[in-house]
Amino acid sequence: MSFSFYTTAQEVVESLKESLMALNPKTHVEDKALKKALEKVEKNFGTMRTMLSENGIYSESLNLDRVSQFVEEICKADVLTLVIQKLPILGWQARKDLVHCWSIFFKQKVVDTNDYSCVEYIEQHIELLDFLLVCYDKNGTAPSSGIMLRECIKFPNLAKGLLESPRFGLFFKYVDLPNFDVAYDAFSTLKELLTKHVNVVSEYLKTHCDVFFDLYNENLLKSPNYATRRGSINLLLDILLETSKETSDARIMKRYISQVRYLKVVMTLLTDSSKKIQLSAFDIFKFFVANPNKPREVKIILCKNKEKLLELLHKLSLVKDSKEDEQFKEEKEYIIKEIERISI
């Protein structure tokens, strides 16, 4: 049994910083030395967790003064940078305790200022979000980095920073990784990023619309992975609908449904082997058809495929006894009539 004799947040943070800085696999030639260094880091995270919460369990009745002291010290000592940089080589228990403390820190306002010190710190070191994102590619770190990223993007400025990062496109790779757990976690983070702050996403898409949707369609909607296609088509619908509410002119929706290349992807999904994906694709396809200002190129594609589309739509149906069946039938009937009327 080991004992902890630290009495202040400053002492714990100083010891943690020292142990993290000493943690370098390249300088620890012997496995025993590296193991000892990792144990010291783990001990420090455990001490921090214990001091932050009763019996290591999060509670709303935390000692807020103590939490504030820790937040101030870790930001002042640049420990946030260190823990992110060292995340891939930390042991399982150390990562677990780190994530616990991280969640507490990002909930804590600095006393007398109403500012989130940790949030401000990440804003000033926005490249740390890139490092957390890249951790999806590191063995065993995805669950930890995912939770840490989701804590960050609860704040609009940090969400904006991640969206505008040159590494943002890596999400489309990670969401479709063969490792289901990693892919699922990456998708959860991407979904949170694209739905948490609709105003931030709307502003981002105003200037990155084509680039974003090209990546989205090519990497996610065309994925051979069923889970990726299903989750992505549903998320796409949410993005289009929510950003339309946010922008008075629904410019993002209008931009999407005016592009032939996107129409082709959605039409392909109407033929998917999964009925659920077919139905989700229909919920987007209907906007292409109902658009009163369809570009000529869109009309040409719809006309060329009129017979096939009508055949598909006539066969398309909801699950039996669905409460939305009547509304679906009305929408389908309207779309069928619109397709029948389309001419070049």
List pLDDT tens digits, range 90-120. Answer: 999 999 999 999 999 988 665 555 555 899 9
Q: How do residues 142-191 score in pLDDT, each as one tens digit?
A: 999 999 999 999 999 999 999 999 999 999 999 999 999 999 999 999 99
Average model confidence (pLDDT) across the chain: 89
Q: What is the pLDDT of residue 156?
A: 96
Taking CA atoms, 268 is separated from 222, 231, 274, 311, in Å, by 9, 16, 12, 14
Under 8 Å CB-to-CB from 290, ≥6 apart: which residues? Answer: 334, 335, 338
The pTM score is: 0.90
180 contact partners, CB below 8 Å, separation of at least 6 = 227
pLDDT digits (tens, 9 = 90+) for 277-297: 999 999 999 999 999 999 999
Name the residue among 169, 193, 179, 262 with its Cα closest to residue 221. Answer: 262
Q: What is the pLDDT of residue 81?
A: 95
Backbone angles phi, psi at 285, to 5 degrees: -55, -35
For the chain, domain boundaries: 1-125
CATH 1.25.10.10, domain 1-125, yes or no = yes
End-to-end CA distance of the chain: 81
